[in-house]
Amino acid sequence: MNLIEYVKGFYQAWIDYPLQEGDVIADRYRIVELLGIGSYGLTYRCLDLQRGQEAAMKQAKPSKGEVGRELLRREMKVLDKLRHPSIPRAWDLLVDRNQLYMASEFAGGQTVEELIFERGSLFSEREALDFISRLTDIVAYVHRHGYVHLDIRIPNVIAGKNRIHLIDFGLARRIGEAASPEPPFRSGTRLAQDAEPASDLSDIGHLLLFMLYSSYHPTKMADTGWEHELDMTSATRQLLRRLLQIEAPYEDIDAFMRDLEQCRTAHSEQ
């Protein structure tokens, strides 16, 4: 690493340093804890001092400049079009000390990432398929309203007491919207790709793999690939091959949902 790269990295880390517990944003939202730091934003759990309830507060990452701020404004516009109990409502965009924030409902629970890597939760094939079925209902709602999420990953899916939540719509776009070759969206693989449902279906396939691997106990050091390492029914294997586009991909989410339901039914009959 040369000196310029070192200084740049130090500067970015400094300006992206998160706010602390007890800090108050816009004289209203008191920070309880930092929930996470993503590529373009920092998210906090806050107490809304006016409503007297918990809130999620997303801050555009300072080091991303206009890219981060524009993504947050776009996320607010997308969420304003979606009304689903498993998608937290966005309340407001606000500026405090020259930083842009989005206040929204707080989705209680734990992310799939936390469940697998912190709590050590194990998902059987049937449990994973049932979970994916519930998640797909949410994604289907998003698609039917003309959007793709484009970031369905284990940190962005929350398992609560009574429902699953899909969060972080920062990269969501209209279906068919071409990637802009102009700044600020030119950099980054996710920002540069076209907005197509196939991307969300591929993400669902990778999320399903994470859940299935939670119960995997390796017997060999060699990496032989998921099709050899994971013990699953032929129906689930075929489902994954199409989700991951190893075989002919699904034309839309409804086609996947039909196969998923047949897969779950066949699994329960075994």
Q: Which of 16, 27, 151, 200 is catalytic?
A: 151
Q: Does the annotation count 151 as an active-site position?
A: yes
Closest CA to 113 of 167, 76, 59: 167
Q: Count the alpha carbons within 13 Å of 212 in the hemisphere toward its beta carbon.
A: 22
39 contacts: CB under 8 Å, gap ≥ 6: 61, 64, 188
Nearest to 24 by CA among 127, 101, 119, 113: 101
> Residue 176 CB: number of other CB atoms within 10 A?
11
In whole angstroms, what is the distance from residue 57 CA to residue 105 CA? 9
User: 38 near 16, Cβ under 8 Å?
Assistant: no
CA distance 67 to 19: 20
- Please identify every residue annotated as catalytic: 151
